Amino acid sequence: MPNLFKIEFVQGKTDASDYGQVKHSLVDTLTNRVIISLTVSGDKLQSVSNYSREPKRLEFEVFPTTWINENIMSGDNEHTRYISYFEVKVYRDQVLFFTGIIDTSQLSFDVSSGVLKFVCYDKIKLLSVFSDLTHYYGLTAGYLPIWILGYFLQDIQQTIPINIPYLNQFAMPSLYIPSGNPLTLVHVDYDDIRRFPDPPGGWTYSYHNSGWPEPYCGFSVDVLSNTVTFVFAHKVHIEATYPSPATTKYQGRYRGRIYRFYNAICPVVSEYDAKTDWADDTQTLDNAYNEMLSWFQDNSINQSTLMSGLSDIASLDGRSYCRGHYINYWVEAQCHGNVFPSKIQPGKSYETFKQENTENLKVLQAVLMMYNATIYTDAAGRIIMKNKDAYSANVIDIEDSDVISFTVKRGNQEAPDISLLEILAGDTSHLKDLIKNYLIGFHDSKWNCEATIDQISKYTLALHSRIQIKGVVYAIIEIERDHIKDEYKVKAWRL
């Protein structure tokens, strides 16, 4: 192969009359190499702890033309934050292999040699450039993972007139909790409000029949809002009698809990606890009880739901919720099934019911971490969201004669930064523990290979490609193309 490069400068400003047009080209020929040097970094899956992902970087050196002098090195031809209006498409032997933006802050002109150095990135770079952008996540039922990426890109496109294409190749994974060993989500003690005073001091205590013999508790499902709510309510009335002089007193004790689960298993709790003074009649207890009912009503649980609308079990989005109960002592809300939510609910607006903006990048990082997903770009510049383990179906056999170098070593396990998940609504404690174990289980004890493979044109390799070297199958997690030497450098997991 002649190994000839072509670089096209394309108008990338979407509101320009010439948007999408090739405005200038630099083309190598067999007799005239106008591109002095060109290097491009590899494609990489994220590490366990880095979920912002490094963008692909391309550098090339040329002698500036008149068009480059007028449109790149001078003139009002860039968006904010040092992003040129003009994007680049780069070809090797007429095959497109890179599409990206020009970072004008890194242009470097060597006056003595007359050489201009360009630094370009794929459009994933824009996620860090605009990491300060925020979004109001207010969809009640939550967001599909690809929507999180889409809204972030949309917010960037509303900031500058640029097109950021993207593609969804993500499939919802499963993190399954067996029914025989359900996950305890919340625990509510109530033995303390049933306890008689000690020592009795001559008084005799009993439960008054105006109280409840056991609490009302169970689940309420709202499919439209994609939430399950666990409700607990108990009313305990104590009657105290004293023999001489004959005296009767009454006391009311009340406990209410409302746990709304966001992101499948992340509760937001509202609490009610009250206890009356000892009273001579039950009128005081009736008033206190009505105050508890009003509290439930204020939190969208009416008396009818409380008394007859709760269920011991509930199902939503592939998960089952059930109740554990040690009578007179405690109740629990438990869960089993796939605890990955198909839609996520990020930010604190779900908790406060107020419009509060949340950082786009942190939400995207949390999504990629939780689902063990990745983003990368293809040759046309589209940002692709995909599962990390979405390996290709076919296995590409690498001939021994094309393996220039090959080493195998044990991978180093990283501790994932689970705090990223705190950007999601609700108490993420259970979710963080599960995701941490899930990620460690995925990455732990993996054997890696590093190989240099000859002849780029002979093998079509990419991220997630499965390759066979010396009889062992690996999945590519990093790939770098050296077009000058005509070889791949790959890192891969042994499958």
Distances (CA, A) of 285 to 212, 254, 304: 13, 10, 20
pLDDT of residue 168: 97
Would 255 be classed as within a structural domain? yes
Of 89, 91, 116, give the one whose Cα is nearest residue 100: 89
Alpha carbons 157 and 419: distance in angstroms, whole number: 29
Write b or e for each residue in 15-52: b if 16 or more Cβ atoms lie within 10 A of its Cβ, otherwise e.
Answer: eeeeeeeeebebebeeeeeebeebebbbbbbbebeebb
Both 27 and 87 in one domain: the answer is yes
Both 288 and 429 in one domain: the answer is no
Would 450 be classed as within a structural domain? no
The structural domain count of the chain equals 2
Both 161 and 252 in one domain: the answer is no
Tell me, what amino acid is at 73? M
pLDDT of residue 50: 47
Both 11 and 153 in one domain: the answer is yes
Would 222 be classed as within a structural domain? yes
Of 184, 178, 177, 189, give the one whose Cα is nearest residue 217: 189
User: What stretches in the chain show pLDDT beneath 50?
Assistant: 47-50
Provide the 3-class DSSP secondary structure of residue 202.
Answer: coil
Distances (CA, A) of 99 to 5, 255, 459, 463: 14, 61, 21, 17
Alpha carbons 213 and 235: distance in angstroms, whole number: 8
Would 366 be classed as within a structural domain? yes
Examine the fold and report which residue of 338, 369, 402 is the final residue of a domain before the chain moves on.
Answer: 338
Would 58 be classed as within a structural domain? yes
- Residue whose token pair is 């950021």: 164
Both 209 and 291 in one domain: the answer is yes
Both 230 and 330 in one domain: the answer is yes
Would 76 be classed as within a structural domain? yes
Strands 383-387 and 5-11: unpaired
Would 402 be classed as within a structural domain? no
Answer whether 194's CB lies under 8 Å from 236's CB. Answer: yes
Both 315 and 441 in one domain: the answer is no
Both 146 and 291 in one domain: the answer is no
Answer whether 337's CB lies under 8 Å from 318's CB. Answer: yes
Both 291 and 168 in one domain: the answer is no
Both 131 and 195 in one domain: the answer is no
List the domain range (segments joined by +) for residue 197: 181-338
For residue 441, what is the enclosing H or E element? helix 429-443
Both 27 and 155 in one domain: the answer is yes
Write b or e for each residue in 259-271: b if 16 or more Cβ atoms lie within 10 A of its Cβ, otherwise e.
Answer: bbbbbbbbbbebe
Both 241 and 156 in one domain: the answer is no
pTM above 0.85, yes or no: yes
Would 492 be classed as within a structural domain? no
